[in-house]
Amino acid sequence: MFKCENLAKSYDNILFENFNLVLEPGEIVAITGPSGCGKTTLLRCICGLENLDMGKIVLEKKDITAIPAEERGIGLIFQKPVLYPHLNVEKNLKLASKRGDISKALSEVNLTGFEKRNVSNLSGGEGQRVALARALLAEPSVLLLDEPFSSLDEDLSLRLVSDVRKLLKARNCPAILVTHNKTIAGKFADKILTLN
């Protein structure tokens, strides 16, 4: 079970405070809200890229608030896929897991045979699928998704949304999606929260 208790963060203005969330195993939650309301920062705080002002993050009864991002075991899919241009698709995936089955991971995201492809030649959708495959290979305890579908056209994003949902459900992996798009939130998540 994954729990956020009383999270708060502010820069010049308050981004969020008293944020509480409980994720049951395999549960998918979407957080919506207007752009600039601190959704991205919330995710960055949860995965440990930024520090919280207040609050506690608990994973399986363990307080992980002070654990650095690289040891937290929480995955994050960035808005634009972050793929390393000096590595090909296979080597990008290997960054997540040395022993994982790369070709299986690629086939799960419908990119069979993409191992040796140069990442700079991938389309937006393909790139996001590689990023997803890589995130799942790392076997995260929770996967955070920061508007990963927003840069894709509607058809593509809807297809990807259902693909990703299936994959997450198959692994029983809890996930938090932030998006400003209510339709996508509805299709993707079991539960929708709104952040003001």
Residues 89 to 108 in contact with other proteins, rule: CB under 8 A:
95-96
Residue in 71, 99, 116, 121 binding other proteins, rule: CB under 8 A: 71
Examine residue 39 and tell whether it contacts other proteins (CB under 8 A): no
Contacts 24+ apart (CB under 8 A), 56-62: 56/3, 56/4, 56/5, 56/6, 56/7, 57/2, 57/3, 57/4, 57/5, 57/7, 58/2, 58/3, 58/4, 58/5, 59/1, 59/2, 59/3, 59/141, 59/142, 60/1, 60/2, 60/141, 61/1
Examine residue 66 and tell whether it contacts other proteins (CB under 8 A): no
Stretch that binds other proteins, among 41-49, 104-112, 172-180, 183-191 (CB under 8 A): 41-49
Examine residue 82 and tell whether it contacts other proteins (CB under 8 A): yes
Least Cβ distance, residue 12 to other proteins (angstroms): 15
Examine residue 12 and tell whether it contacts other proteins (CB under 8 A): no
Least Cβ distance, residue 9 to other proteins (angstroms): 17
Residue in 59, 122, 134, 160 binding other proteins, rule: CB under 8 A: 134
Give me Rg for the CA atoms of the chain: 16
Examine residue 119 and tell whether it contacts other proteins (CB under 8 A): no
Q: What does the buried/exposed string (b/e) look like for 153-186 if buried means 16 or more CB atoms within 10 Å of the residue's CB? A: eeeebbebbeebbebbeeeebbbbbbbebeebbe
Examine residue 23 and tell whether it contacts other proteins (CB under 8 A): no
Residues that bind other proteins (CB under 8 A): 47-49, 68-71, 73-76, 78, 80, 82, 84-87, 95-96, 134-135, 138
